[in-house]
């Protein structure tokens, strides 16, 4: 069948199945099967798919119609302009998290420094920052060994060699301190957040999404424990939910951080809170 016909059919099937991005999903899945980019697809829509391509595409469309995230079906997602391998052991990198990257970069002088990314998942944040700051050394930690091997594969693919990925429970296995910047996108949803039953989130690992105390327990732990790991004058930057900024900043103040502020995401929601630690 002609590629443009296949696409139109798939887009309408995915729209019926409730995908908010049906046409784009269909294009990305077809590109994945054909090994081409979307520009190619726009030019060559009048070509035909062979039977095997069509069968593989239809299987992916069926899985997408059943709700599976496109990023798990293709095994890839772009973040900060970097193509990253993704998989069901980690969250799919989100555009909101680019707010965390921007806020951190603004506090990372070009010459050199030491960065720690906790709960690194695919390695998205650490790799984005390391790619922008070749003079920095970064450590990325995740509890899940599968996430860590994914992050290592991402670093290798991108040729980024200034990040050291390791398995660990937050700071537990970490010997170093004196980081100039610590970043984290920890789990921060409450266990009854209705968001958990919708869209891609249903397929993502709960452990990467949900935290105790209405989603605040890991954020609180990171505020508290980062003080021992920051260099004097170092920054802690935490992603959080749109309604958690007040609580996180209160914790930062109570723990003695200074210059406490917040950054908003592209939708205008409070998304990242940060503060600076100065040793007495
Ligand atoms: N921002 C994510 C969401 O709303 C939650 C990610 C997280 O808990 N770190 O799905």
Atom of ligand 1 nearest to the CA of 185: 9
- The 8-class DSSP code of residue 265 comes to -
Atom of ligand 1 nearest to the CA of 119: 9
- Per-residue pLDDT, averaged over 249-254, amounts to 98
Domains 3-67 and 88-277 share a fold: no
Residue 195 CA to ligand 1 centre (angstroms):
9
Q: Is 109 annotated as a binding residue?
A: no
Residue nearest to atom 2 of ligand 1 (CA): 209
Q: Using 50, 70 and 90 to split pLDDT, how confident is the model at 178?
A: very high
- Per-residue pLDDT, averaged over 44-73, amounts to 96
Q: Give 11's contacts (C-beta < 8 A, 6+ positions apart).
A: 22, 23, 25, 26
Q: Which CATH architecture has domain 88-277?
A: 3-Layer(aba) Sandwich (3.40)
Pick the CATH number of 3-67 from 3.40.50.300, 3.40.190.10, 1.10.8.10, 3.60.10.10: 1.10.8.10
Residue nearest to atom 5 of ligand 1 (CA): 209
Radius of gyration of the chain (CA): 20
pTM: 0.95
Q: Is 51 annotated as a binding residue?
A: no
Class of residue 166 by CB neighbours under 10 A (exposed 0-12, middle 13-18, buried 19+): middle
Name the token pair of 20.
């908010």
**Whole-number pLDDT of residue 204:** 97
Class of residue 109 by CB neighbours under 10 A (exposed 0-12, middle 13-18, buried 19+): exposed
Q: What are the domain boundaries of the chain?
A: 3-67, 88-277
pLDDT(173) > 90: no
**CB within 6 Å of ligand 1 — which residues?**
94, 96, 185, 187-189, 195, 201, 209
ipTM of the complex: 0.94
Task: Please write the tens of the pLDDT for every residue from 29-41.
Answer: 999 999 999 999 9
């Amino acid at each position: 069948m002609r590629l443009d016909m296949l696409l139109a059919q798939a887009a309408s099937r995915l729209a019926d199945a409730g995908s908010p991005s049906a046409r784009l999903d269909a294009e990305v899945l077809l590109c994945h099967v054909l090994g081409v980019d979307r520009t190619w697809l726009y030019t060559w829509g009048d070509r035909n798919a062979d039977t095997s391509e069509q069968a593989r595409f239809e299987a992916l469309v069926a899985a997408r119609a059943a709700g599976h995230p496109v990023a798990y079906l293709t095994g890839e997602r772009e973040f900060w302009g970097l193509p990253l391998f993704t998989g069901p052991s980690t969250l799919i990198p989100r555009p909101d998290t680019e707010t965390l990257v921007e806020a951190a970069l603004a506090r990372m002088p070009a010459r050199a420094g030491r960065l720690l990314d906790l709960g690194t998942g695919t390695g998205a944040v650490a790799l984005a920052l390391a790619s922008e700051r070749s003079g920095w050394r970064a450590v990325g930690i995740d509890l899940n060994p599968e996430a860590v091997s994914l992050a290592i594969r991402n670093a290798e693919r991108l040729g980024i060699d200034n990040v050291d990925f390791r398995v660990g429970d937050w700071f537990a296995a970490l010997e170093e301190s004196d980081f100039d910047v610590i970043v984290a996108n920890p789990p921060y949803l409450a266990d009854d957040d209705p968001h958990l039953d919708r869209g891609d989130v249903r397929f993502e690992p709960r452990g990467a999404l949900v935290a105790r105390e209405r989603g605040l327990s890991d954020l609180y732990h990171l505020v508290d424990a980062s003080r021992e790991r920051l260099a004097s004058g170092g920054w802690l930057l935490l992603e959080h939910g749109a309604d958690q900024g007040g609580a996180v900043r209160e914790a930062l103040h109570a723990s003695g951080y200074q210059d406490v502020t917040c950054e908003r995401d592209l939708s205008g929601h409070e998304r990242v809170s940060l503060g600076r630690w100065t040793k007495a």
